[in-house]
């Protein structure tokens, strides 16, 4: 469905001079710096996949989305969406995709939400029957009955984002790009959006690319994850593969009957001690929690034991902070 090959995008940024003389010189003879927002990126996305496209601020996520949608022309490399080159066939490509930008709107601010849908229906040349059927389904799934007649400017952020997603899907595109769709959205609205994305994918097999900083969202809906950093893809794997490779740390919490004692362990590390509790971090490949508890001296009463494993959210946060080798 989507194929990017050695995709790159460079921006030429004018450099301001330092001080008065430097600024005057830059006016006469400006200097420029080349910034690679996307650097030799390659990936393939099959029809019906939900992809989490992740990375820290400035990593190149939004630039990649703009290259895939045809908003930007690549500096080098190529991209095909449904066998079309987005920048060469903009009109046809627009009919095949839906796009939601969390910080931008495609709705008319002062008009009732329903009016925006009617305008978009005319733009996409939908028949009256198709428009009514699609609208009814989207309004029901996204629970928009109570506010569909309100002006967009009076909607809460969560309501507006549901309206944005409905607007992007009104023409039934097979591909949906979601760029930070839950930013600033309350928990209830966010859960409705995520549930809708899952249902849409299951029922209509819509291909979804989701960029977000909320890693819990990705854990819920994205079986496959791509991580980009400084314009380059550094990881492309399933959640299971990521956890198998990086999620090897476990945390054993032990509550004793009395105050904990001085303890020396051949494996594992005591990372926290509080009253009658110890927290011990260990590598699952080196030992098991059972064997670790078996190393405690006999006669020390244990009241409770619990184990915490890394989840995809914590693992990806560690990758952001320390890189793949950390």
- How would you write the pLDDT of the chain (326 residues) with one tens digit per residue? 899 999 999 998 877 777 777 777 777 777 888 889 999 999 999 999 999 999 888 889 989 999 999 999 999 999 999 889 999 888 888 889 999 987 788 899 999 999 999 999 999 999 999 999 999 999 998 889 999 999 999 999 889 999 999 999 999 999 999 988 888 788 888 888 889 899 989 988 999 999 988 888 888 899 999 999 889 999 999 988 888 888 777 888 888 777 666 667 777 777 787 777 878 888 877 777 778 777 776 656 778 888 887 778 788 888 877 777 75
Task: Specify the pLDDT at position 154.
Answer: 94
Tally the C-alpha atoms within 13 A of residue 291's C-alpha that lie toward its C-beta: 11
- Residue 62 CA to residue 68 CA, distance in Å, equals 10
- pLDDT number for residue 326: 59
Of 196, 125, 190, residue with least CA distance to 166: 196
22-49: string of b/e by CB count within 10 Å (b at 16+)? Answer: eeeeeeeeeeeeeebbbbebebebeeeb
CATH level 3 topology of 47-243: Rossmann fold (3.40.50)
Query: Concatenated DSSP letters for 80-109?
Result: EETTB-TTTSHHHHHHHEEEEETT---S-T
Q: Which DSSP letter does residue 152 get?
A: G
Q: What residue segments make up the domains of the chain, in order of their start?
A: 47-243, 248-309
What span, in angstroms and rounded, lies between the C-alpha atoms of 148 and 153? 12
Instruction: Tell me the two tokens of residue 69.
Output: 């949608």
Q: What whole-number distance in Å separates Cα of residue 176 and Cα of residue 77?
A: 23
* Helix, strand, coil percentages in the chain from 3-state DSSP, rounded to 5: 35, 30, 35
Q: What angle do CA 146, 150, 153 make, to 5 degrees?
A: 125
DSSP letter at 267?
S
Nearest-CA neighbor of 4 among 52, 66, 50?
A: 66
How far apart CA 127 and CA 179 sit, in angstroms, is 29
Q: Are strands 175-179 and 97-101 parallel, antiparallel or unpaired?
A: parallel
For 195, list phi and psi in degrees, rounded to 5: -65, -40
Tokens 């301001």 correspond to 16
What pTM does this model have? Answer: 0.80
pLDDT on residue 245: 82
Q: Which residues pair with 54 in a beta bridge?
A: 227
């Amino acid at each position: 469905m989507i194929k990017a090959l050695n995709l790159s995008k460079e921006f030429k940024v004018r450099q301001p001079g330092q001080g008065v003389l430097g600024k005057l010189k830059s006016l006469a003879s400006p200097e420029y710096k080349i910034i690679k927002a996307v650097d030799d990126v390659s990936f393939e996305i099959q029809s019906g996949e939900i992809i989490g496209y992740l990375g820290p601020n400035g990593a190149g996520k939004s630039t990649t989305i703009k290259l895939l949608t045809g908003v930007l022309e690549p500096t080098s490399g190529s991209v095909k969406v449904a066998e079309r080159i987005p920048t060469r066939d903009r009109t046809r490509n627009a009919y095949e995709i839906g796009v939601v930008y969390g910080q931008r709107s495609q709705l008319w601010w002062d008009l009732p939400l329903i009016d925006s849908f009617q305008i978009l229906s005319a733009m996409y040349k939908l028949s009256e029957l198709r428009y009514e059927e699609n609208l009814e389904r989207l309004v029901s799934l996204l629970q928009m009955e109570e506010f569909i007649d309100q002006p967009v400017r009076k909607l809460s952020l969560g309501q507006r984002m549901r309206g944005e997603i409905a607007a992007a899907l009104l023409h039934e595109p097979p591909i949906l790009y979601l760029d930070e769709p839950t930013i600033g959205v309350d928990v209830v609205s966010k859960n409705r959006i995520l549930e809708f994305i899952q249902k849409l994918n299951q029922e209509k097999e819509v291909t979804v690319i989701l960029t977000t900083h909320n890693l819990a969202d990705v854990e819920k809906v994205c079986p496959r994850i791509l991580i980009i950093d400084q314009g380059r893809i550094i990881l492309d794997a399933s959640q299971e593969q990521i956890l198998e490779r990086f999620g090897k740390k476990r945390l054993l919490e032990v509550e004793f009957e009395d105050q904990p004692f001085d303890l020396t362990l051949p494996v594992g590390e005591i990372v926290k001690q509080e009253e009658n509790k110890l927290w011990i971090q260990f590598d699952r490949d080196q030992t098991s929690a059972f064997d670790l508890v078996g190393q405690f001296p006999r006669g020390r009463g244990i009241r409770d034991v619990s184990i915490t494993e890394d989840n995809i959210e914590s693992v990806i946060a560690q990758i952001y902070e320390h890189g793949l080798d950390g």
